[in-house]
Amino acid sequence: MSLSEANGGLPLLSILILGPLAAAAVAALIRSERLVRWWTLAFTTASAVFSLKLWSGFNPDTAAYQFVERRAWIPSLRIEYCLGIDGLSLLLVLLTTLIAPLCILASWSAIKTRVREFMICLLIMETAMVGVFSALDFVLFFTFWEAMLIPMALLIGVWGGPRRIYASVKFFIYTMAGSIFLLVALVALRLKTGTFYIPDLMGRPYDPAFQCWIFAAFALSFAIKVPMFPLHTWLPAAHVEAPTAGSVLLASVLLKMGTYGFLRFCLPITPYATHVFAPAMLWLSVVAILYGGFAALAQSDLKKLVAYSSVGHMGFATLGIFVLNPKGLEGAILVMLNHGVTTGALFIAVGMIYERLHTRELGAAAGLGKYMPIYAFFLGVFCLSSMAFPGTNSFIGEFLVLCGGFAHSKLLAACTIPGVVVCAAYMLRMLQRVAWGGTKNPDQSGLVDLNLREILTLTPLLVFVFWIGLHPAPFVRVMHASVGHLLEQASRLP
Amino acid sequence: MTSPFLLAFLPELVLLAGALVLFTVCLGESRARLARNAAVGVAAAAVLACIVSLGARAELFSGAYQVDAFSQLLKLGFAAGFGAIILLSGDLPDIREMIRPEYFLFVTLSITGLTMLVSCVDAISLVVALELSSFPLYLLVPMRREREGHRTQMEGAIKYIMFGVAANGIMLFGLSYLYGLTGTTHLGPMLALLKPVAGTPLAIAGMAMAFCGLYYKLAVFPFHFWTPDVYQGASNETAGLIASLPKLGAVAVLVRFVSLATPDNTTIAAMLALLAGASMFYGNLVALVQKDLKRMLGFSGIAHSGYAMMGFVALSRAGYAAALYYAVGYVLMILACFVVVCRVSKDGENVKIADLAGLHKRSPLLALTLFTGIFALAGLPPFVGFMGKLGLLTAVIARGHLTLAIVAVINSAIAVYYYLQVVRQAVFGEAGADPTPIRLSVPTRILCAALIACIVAFGCFPEAVVGAIARSLTFVS
């Protein structure tokens, strides 16, 4: 598994990880705010284009790690700098690199203070996020996992809304508290196996009690990140107060780190414990779907609405993971991707309203459609996508998860149906109010429709909505082998 | 292979000569600037001397004084730290003008004591070196300028000296037991003779009491009572000194001492674990409610001593190396915080956490320094605090102390809260009552940059430091 021929010997993943860090260093030296914006945009776009090499060079027929780089980092502790991706992480890496330039576009005019620092934070975030999805050494993974905390807390705490400091501190403490148990699990596994290399940790005959403890430590930190009910309470606060780019990164990428953790660590490393805890995780997922849906139905703040809908959607992802069958898992990974695309787009859309109206109240945004038809079009598509309308991306993902769910337990899957219905209800309610409103709409005649930059921000996501929705085969194909391998690992019981 | 005396003893000689020079400077009147420049020169010379004698190996003074890789490495650390302390002290705004030259003299003497401390392998020379490093510090505390109605410096000084003397007394008492058991004051032979009787109550009592003097320096619970008052009472610069280097010295000596206990000595391990856990909980929980930045750092220092103690609980070479690495990291982190305390402070007054409001506007470099230091203390990667904690946790879990490891991580989580309060003020907050920018001198800028670079570099590439420390622990079985 050395550097594969396909990438011509270039350490692709290292470039994607260290590139943004170097770009951040350059950005720190640029005096002009305008230039900083352009530089970051140009860099992240180039990085996104460059990351397509991963897509073209990826061999979907194998579950082995690809683009592997392995170097000694701290030999005395046997910690390595080890990167590699497989079908589980490829799409998430690409999602991250593609979302980054959109975040910069979305905050082009919204961020007016300390622009340079903002862009540096975004670039460091990109480093950490790509790093999390491609690290194959546990300490390296943990380093990226934690390194992501600081810039995110800054994004919320410095550029956020009125209660930003509360939200930022809450976000930080929740995530930190969870990840600290990850650290114990990491050390315990290291002492049991003598290695931090993640593939070597998998498929070992740990005794059941040990597995359960490790799983509990893993699950706590990942569940906070996802967030699973009842550990979700940091999410609405963080989302509401974060600036648009922060919300987008949070929804599109950070939440995926939790579900990715389940896939990368819980299932292959602790298969026995996964089977023991799966029923509990499944029912918590169902509760999250229902709770998130009903909570979203009751919101009048647009961002809160989208935030609670995230809780519900991520419930589908965890449901798909813990039914432990191919349909469910493939569905779960697609849900992760789709949620990244759709919810990211919805947060950008809400941000556009906020920039114009300086409020996120649903009532204040009523009847925008008449004066902002292009906006209403985009919002409509993303709303339909979010409620899993056939032909859009979410439909494929949720459909697969439900298939997996029904194959696992009819009762369980049946319980999620109200969640799907509620999702349609709150999304349509929002769309109806924003696009048309009622007879007593506020005067929106002064509003300007989307400009070219805003259209450019949303268009790539629109393309993905329909691409995945109408032709999901290429996306499923890249994960197929890895999912099969993962299930085989997860079925090894002692 | 032994090095010539001059080479082996060069760092101490340089520091002693420097102290003499400073003493002559003190004889004149108001030569503060001259004294500071002389101190900078001494620090630079000491660093050079340490580098030159890094490879020296010798046994001096009839075997009471061991010059080995371990001692030379730490001496280099102390010399570098000495330089940082002098740069940190700046113009000593809070020390009475008349006695500023003396301040530098006492700092130099204290550092001399520390450099000697790490070479001592005899109980008697060890106590002497410990006193040499402590007494100048007792004098530094009350040198703070008097304020109307405030005599906290005196209160702090008296607490510091009382507790210090008491702890030293207990230590001597414990050493007398060990001497009684073994008939020698040399740690090497003592170790051999103690082994067969290590499990007896007398030996355990002797060791436990002998450790007390070091617990006091480290501010481990229940020997911590002086910490908050001394931090608050002493001038910011003095507190920065007391908070940093002596702790490294204490950890280093504790390594020499604890290795007296055999690895399977569960009583000593349990005792150390209890103290470590109690220090973490006490320090962190009380730090949660502090308003004064120095007091908060004091309580968090108690908790950090608890973390470092974990390395001793393991009673293994990996544990000692981890504890030393953590102590080195802690010196860097706490110095970063104290640079900020010293520069933010107006006219040398104590700094409230609220005074940090809007620091990012007043001085971006200081805000970045504080940010790095605080997040490193909180144990986040990629800073040095994380790698230190990782090493410590690995060492204790390897020896089966899972409970202690979980106590440690719970404490790390608690600590995040009060560390975030500081960051919150400094980075998120709007400028408070005093929005004037803080001007930093060039030496301060260099110090800030060096500390940030070291905290990140030690965290990202710990191999060099951890490896050097682990290799130098030749005397640990």
DSSP per residue over B215-235, as a string? HHHHT-TTS-THHHHHHHHS-
Inter-CA distances, A389 with A142, A421, A427, Å: 37, 11, 11
Q: Does B390 contact A183 at a Cβ distance shorter than 8 Å?
A: yes
Query: Which H or E run contains B332?
Result: helix B317-344
A74 in reach of chain B (CB within 8 A): yes
Question: What pLDDT shows up at residue B431?
Answer: 66
CA dist A443 and A367 (Å) reads 9
- On chain A, the residues whose CB falls within 8 A of the CB of B417 are 169, 173
Longest dimension (CA), chain B: 66
CA dist B466 and B477 (Å) reads 18
CA dist A43 and A38 (Å) reads 8
Asked if residue B51 has pLDDT above 50, the reply is yes
Inter-CA distances, B300 with A400, B284, B293, B297, B305, Å: 51, 6, 10, 5, 9
Asked if residue B432 has pLDDT above 80, the reply is no
- On chain B, the residues whose CB falls within 8 A of the CB of A214 are none
Which has more pLDDT, A137 or B265? A137
DSSP B355: G
- On chain B, the residues whose CB falls within 8 A of the CB of A154 are 427
Token pair for A62: 């194998």
Quick one: average pLDDT of B448-475? 86
Q: Does B394 contact A187 at a Cβ distance shorter than 8 Å?
A: yes
Query: Which residue has 């006219």 as its token pair?
Result: B347
What are the residues whose beta carbons fall under 8 Å from the beta carbon of B216, sequence distance 6 or more? B163, B164, B167, B168, B223, B226
Of A139, A165, A172, nearest to B416 by CB-CB distance is A172
CA dist A207 and A238 (Å) reads 39
CA dist A464 and A311 (Å) reads 22
Query: Which H or E run contains A142?
Result: helix A138-147
Residue A12 forms beta bridges with which residues? none
Residue B66 forms beta bridges with which residues? B59
Query: Which residue has 């890895």 as its token pair?
Result: A482
pLDDT digits (tens, 9 = 90+) for B222-250: 888 888 889 888 888 899 999 999 999 99
A170 in reach of chain B (CB within 8 A): no
For residue A309, which of A431, A404, A413, A220 has the smallest C-alpha distance?
A: A431
In terms of C-beta density within 10 A (0-12 exposed, 13-18 middle, 19 or more buried), how is residue A421 classed? Answer: exposed
If pLDDT is split at 50, 70 and 90, which confidence band does B107 have? very high
Question: What pLDDT shows up at residue A127?
Answer: 92
Q: Does A74 contact B470 at a Cβ distance shorter than 8 Å?
A: no
Nearest chain B residue to A144, by CA: B381
- On chain B, the residues whose CB falls within 8 A of the CB of A28 are none
Is the CB of residue A475 less than 8 Å from the CB of residue A483? Answer: no
Mark residue B63 as left, alpha or beta (left: phi above 0; alpha: psi -120 to 50; beta: remaining): left
Side-chain-side CA neighbours of B370 within 13 Å: the count stands at 30
CA dist B80 and B46 (Å) reads 8
Q: Does B409 contact A184 at a Cβ distance shorter than 8 Å?
A: yes
Q: Does B394 contact A190 at a Cβ distance shorter than 8 Å?
A: yes
A113 in reach of chain B (CB within 8 A): no
For residue B330, which of B307, B299, B356 has the smallest C-alpha distance?
A: B307
Tell me how close the Cα of A424 comes to any Cα of chain B, in angstroms: 39
A172 in reach of chain B (CB within 8 A): yes
What are the residues whose beta carbons fall under 8 Å from the beta carbon of A298, sequence distance 6 or more? none
Q: Does B397 contact A142 at a Cβ distance shorter than 8 Å?
A: no
Query: Which H or E run contains A84?
Result: strand A79-85
CA dist B223 and B180 (Å) reads 26
* Measured torsion, CA atoms of residues B437, B232, B218, B405, in degrees rounded to the nearest 10: -70
Residues in chain B, total: 477
The string over B363-395, giving b where at least 16 C-beta atoms fall within 10 Å of a residue's C-beta and e elsewhere, is bebbbbbbbbbbbbbbbbbbbbbbbbbbbbbbb
How many helices (H) does chain A have, and how many strands (E)? 21, 2
The radius of gyration computed from the CA coordinates of chain B, to the nearest angstrom, equals: 21
A139 in reach of chain B (CB within 8 A): yes
| DSSP 3-state percent helix, strand, coil across chain A (nearest 5) | 75, 5, 20
CA dist B253 and B270 (Å) reads 20
Q: Does B413 contact A176 at a Cβ distance shorter than 8 Å?
A: yes
B380 in reach of chain A (CB within 8 A): yes
**Complex ipTM value:** 0.79
Is the CB of residue A370 less than 8 Å from the CB of residue A364? Answer: no
Percentage of chain B modeled with pLDDT above 90? 29
CA dist A175 and A225 (Å) reads 7
Query: Which residue has 């204790």 as its token pair?
Result: B396
Query: Which H or E run contains A428?
Result: helix A410-435
If pLDDT is split at 50, 70 and 90, which confidence band does B441 have? confident
Is the CB of residue A293 less than 8 Å from the CB of residue A451? Answer: no
- On chain B, the residues whose CB falls within 8 A of the CB of A169 are 417, 420, 424
Of A147, A158, A184, nearest to B428 by CB-CB distance is A158
Question: What pLDDT shows up at residue A1?
Answer: 42
Of A73, A173, A190, nearest to B417 by CB-CB distance is A173
CA dist A235 and A152 (Å) reads 13
pLDDT digits (tens, 9 = 90+) for B156-206: 889 899 999 999 999 999 999 989 988 888 888 888 888 888 778 888 888
Quick one: average pLDDT of B67-81? 90
Chosen from A187, A192, A214, A220 to mutate, greatest number of chain B CBs within 10 A? A187
CA dist A338 and A332 (Å) reads 10
- The SS3 assignment for B211 reads helix
Longest dimension (CA), chain A: 72
Tell me how close the Cα of A399 comes to any Cα of chain B, in angstroms: 40
Tell me how close the Cα of A81 comes to any Cα of chain B, in angstroms: 11
CA dist B149 and B168 (Å) reads 32
CA dist A31 and A131 (Å) reads 29
Q: Does A169 contact B390 at a Cβ distance shorter than 8 Å?
A: no
Quick one: average pLDDT of B274-283? 92
pLDDT, averaged across chain B: 87
Is the CB of residue B188 less than 8 Å from the CB of residue B120? Answer: no
Q: Does B380 contact A164 at a Cβ distance shorter than 8 Å?
A: no
Q: Does B424 contact A168 at a Cβ distance shorter than 8 Å?
A: yes
A169 in reach of chain B (CB within 8 A): yes
Phi first, then psi: what are they for B225, rounded to 5°?
-55, -30
Phi first, then psi: what are they for B122, rounded to 5°?
-125, 135
- On chain A, the residues whose CB falls within 8 A of the CB of B410 are 180
DSSP string, B9-63: THHHHHHHHHHHHHHHHHHSSS-HHHHHHHHHHHHHHHHHHHHHGGG--EEETTT
Query: Which H or E run contains A456?
Result: helix A452-470
CA dist B299 and B413 (Å) reads 15
Q: Does A165 contact B470 at a Cβ distance shorter than 8 Å?
A: no
Token pair for B409: 């991580």
Between A4-13, A131-140, B106-115, B303-312, the lowest mean confidence (pLDDT) is in: A4-13
User: Would you tell me how many other CB atoms lie within 10 Å of the CB of residue B109?
Assistant: 22
Of A143, A146, A165, nearest to B428 by CB-CB distance is A165
Asked if residue B303 has pLDDT above 90, the reply is yes
For residue B379, which of B284, B265, B444, B260 has the smallest C-alpha distance?
A: B284
Residue type, A187: V
- On chain A, the residues whose CB falls within 8 A of the CB of B381 are 142-143, 146-147
Q: Are strands A79-85 and A66-74 parallel, antiparallel or unpaired?
A: antiparallel
For residue B320, which of B398, B402, B260, B258 has the smallest C-alpha distance?
A: B258
What are the residues whose beta carbons fall under 8 Å from the beta carbon of A210, sequence distance 6 or more? A188, A192
Residue A162: is the preceding peptide bond cis (ω within 30°)? no
CA dist B247 and B305 (Å) reads 8
Please report the residues numbered 69 through 88 in chain B whose beta carbons come closer than 8 angstroms to any beta carbon of chain A: none
Chosen from B393, B418, B473 to mutate, greatest number of chain A CBs within 10 A? B393
pLDDT by 10s per residue, chain A, length 494: 444 444 557 888 888 899 898 998 898 888 888 888 899 999 999 999 999 888 888 888 888 888 888 888 888 778 888 898 988 889 999 999 999 999 998 888 888 888 888 899 999 999 999 999 999 999 899 999 988 888 888 888 888 878 888 888 888 888 888 888 888 888 888 888 888 888 888 888 888 888 899 999 999 889 998 888 888 888 888 888 888 888 899 888 999 999 999 999 988 888 889 989 999 999 999 999 999 999 998 888 888 899 999 998 999 999 999 998 888 999 999 999 999 999 999 999 998 888 888 888 888 888 888 888 888 899 999 999 988 888 888 898 889 999 999 888 888 888 888 888 898 899 998 888 888 877 777 877 778 888 888 888 899 999 999 998 899 888 888 888 888 888 888 887 76
Residues in chain A, total: 494
Question: What pLDDT shows up at residue A3?
Answer: 46
Token pair for A482: 């890895």
